[in-house]
């Protein structure tokens, strides 16, 4: 790989890393300011409340209330800092569950008060009644939160608190997998205008490519550098809209994280891994397999079509010859064994599509020979001659000519 390419890769990685670090630093500063303001208000609230009351309170009580309020605020800040990756849907789900639990507890408490008043129970039963109300409230809050959190995905249309995803207008962005970036064909498709959707690359994918580029294995190192080079080229292409996002996901499995992020943000996954495409489809995420896309773009051959193919090797049957079209499709020509090493005309008899690709079966059909002296005739004669001639002179090591197997000078 050339030095300018390496410089471009390093510059791209440094830019994305610098942008991510700057955004994380600004977020931490905002959170720090908010926490300091929260602690200041928590510490000042007891003194303000006591000062608003006309009655006099001892200073020890004010100090005690301030310390208790500060300790409570500190506990809240510590819990908040220990859970940096929060999800709005989960937080709102917990809040809604607590509200539903409190409403149920209030309804049951009102019913219990009515029963106690109707039966004219003694006042000593009031303590047990209050304890029962508190216990019922706690139990209902817990059950409501548990039910809401475990069934939020099943009641997506009934419960509006579940869906808090970013709405994408227009074409849905494409989330690039590591294999799709290393493959490189997505760059050609985007530059050709066949795909005009915006592309998204996760920071975790760039980190994985960087680990491959720093690997001790030569093959992995080449794949990692190629992937980073592709990202740099896509960033520099004027017709490609590529953004690098640092979206968190659970666990360290990048493939599973891609599906999770795509489902949460309404992205489409682009990959060359058939297994990842199947997993995405099972999870309800649209997946674009570049290999399947390339296979569908191949020219369709029907029985009766005439093709021209250069036979390169014999087939499984003695009379067959095997060649390949420009798109890599394998062609098995019946009766083509005598013409191995030359281009022949054939008529398609059948096509077979397998997991490895498409195979075309044809039979040799020279057809009407082209007119003598035409460009097609001369090209056929030039390419159809054997590479070796049995009657060509061969100069031996002693300087004498000998008749034997010699190379045809017209075939170079």
pLDDT in tens, 283-325: 888 888 888 877 776 667 788 888 888 999 998 888 899 998 8
Looking at mean pLDDT, say which of 31-45, 144-158, 280-294 comes out highest. 280-294
Pick the residue with more confidence: 121 or 373? 121
Residue 155 predicted with pLDDT over 70: no
Pick the residue with more confidence: 369 or 263? 263
Lowest mean pLDDT among 79-93, 335-349, 376-390: 376-390
Pick the residue with more confidence: 7 or 104? 104
Tell me, what's the pLDDT at 85? 60
Tell me, what's the pLDDT at 321? 92
pLDDT bucket at 159, cuts 50 / 70 / 90: very low
Report the pLDDT averaged over residues 206-228: 88
pLDDT bucket at 357, cuts 50 / 70 / 90: low
Residue 186, classified by CB atoms within 10 Å of its CB into exposed (0-12), middle (13-18) or buried (19+), is buried
Residue 13 predicted with pLDDT over 70: no
Looking at mean pLDDT, say which of 11-15, 50-54, 239-243, 368-372 comes out highest. 239-243
Pick the residue with more confidence: 210 or 161? 210
Report the pLDDT averaged over residues 235-240: 85
Report the pLDDT averaged over residues 247-259: 79
Name the average pLDDT for the chain.
75
Tell me, what's the pLDDT at 2? 42
Stated pTM of the model: 0.43
Tell me, what's the pLDDT at 255? 83
Tell me, what's the pLDDT at 118? 76
Tell me, what's the pLDDT at 138? 79
- In three-state form (DSSP H/G/I as H, E/B as E, the rest C), the secondary structure along the chain is CCHHHHHHHHHHHHHHHHHHHHHHHHHHHHHHHHHHHHHHHHHHHHHHHHHHCCCCCCHHHHHHHHHHHHHHHHHHHHHHHHCCCCCHHHHHHHHHHHHHHHHHHHHHHHHHHHHHHHHCCCCCHHHHHHHHHHHHHHHHHHHHHHHHHHCCCCCCCCCCCCCCCCCCCCCCCEEECHHHHHHCHHHHHHHHCCCCCCEEEEHHHHHHHHHHHCCCCHHHHHHHHHHHHHHHHHHHCCCCCEEEECCCCCCCCHHHHHHHHHHHHCCEEEECCHHHHHHHHHCCCCEEEHHHHHHHCCCCCCCCCEEEEEEEEECCCCCEEEEECCCCCEEEEECCHHHCCCEEEEEEEEEEEECCEEEEEEEECCCCCCCCCCHHHHHHHHHHCCCEECCCEEECCCCCEEECCEECHHHC
Strand partners, 357: 354
pLDDT bucket at 164, cuts 50 / 70 / 90: very low
pLDDT in tens, 256-293: 888 888 888 888 899 888 888 888 889 888 888 888 87
Nearest by Cα to 233 from 20, 4, 18, 22 = 4
Report the pLDDT averaged over residues 62-78: 81
């Amino acid at each position: 790989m050339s030095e300018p390419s390496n410089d471009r890769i390093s510059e791209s990685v440094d830019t994305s890393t610098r942008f991510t670090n700057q955004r994380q630093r600004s977020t931490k500063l905002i959170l720090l300011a908010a926490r300091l303001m929260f602690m200041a208000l928590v510490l000042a609230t007891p003194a303000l409340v006591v000062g608003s009351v006309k009655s006099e309170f001892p200073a020890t009580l004010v100090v005690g209330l301030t310390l208790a309020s500060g300790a409570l605020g500190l506990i809240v800040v510590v819990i908040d800092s220990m859970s940096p990756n929060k999800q709005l849907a989960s937080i709102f789900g917990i809040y809604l569950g607590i509200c539903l639990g409190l409403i149920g507890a209030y309804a049951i408490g009102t019913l219990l008060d009515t029963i106690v008043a109707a039966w004219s129970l003694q006042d000593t039963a009031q303590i047990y009644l209050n304890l029962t109300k508190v216990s019922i409230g706690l139990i209902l809050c817990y059950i409501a939160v548990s039910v809401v959190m475990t069934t939020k995905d099943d009641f997506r249309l009934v419960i509006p608190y579940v869906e808090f995803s970013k709405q994408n207008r227009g074409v849905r962005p494409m989330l690039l997998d590591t294999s799709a970036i290393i493959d490189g064909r997505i760059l050609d498709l985007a530059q050709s205008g066949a795909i005009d959707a915006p592309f998204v690359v996760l920071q975790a994918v760039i980190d994985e490519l960087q680990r491959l580029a720093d690997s001790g294995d030569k093959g992995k190192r080449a794949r990692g550098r190629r992937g980073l080079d592709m990202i740099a080229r896509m960033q520099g292409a004027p017709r490609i809209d590529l953004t690098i996002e640092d979206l968190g996901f659970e666990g360290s499995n990048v493939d599973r994280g891609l599906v999770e992020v795509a489902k949460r943000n309404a992205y489409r996954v682009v990959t060359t891994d058939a297994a990842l495409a199947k997993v995405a489809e099972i999870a309800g995420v649209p997946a674009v397999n570049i290999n399947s896309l390339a296979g569908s773009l191949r020219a369709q051959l029907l029985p009766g079509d005439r093709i021209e193919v250069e036979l390169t090797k014999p087939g499984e049957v003695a009379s067959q010859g095997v060649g390949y079209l420009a798109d890599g499709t394998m062609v098995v020509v019946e009766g083509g064994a005598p013409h191995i090493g030359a281009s022949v005309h054939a008529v398609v008899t059948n096509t077979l599509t397998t997991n490895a690709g498409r195979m075309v079966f044809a039979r040799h059909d020279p057809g009407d020979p082209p007119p003598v002296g035409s460009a097609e005739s001369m090209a056929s004669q030039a390419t159809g001659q054997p590479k070796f001639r049995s009657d060509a002179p061969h100069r031996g090591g002693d300087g004498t000519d000998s008749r034997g197997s010699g190379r045809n000078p017209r075939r170079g």
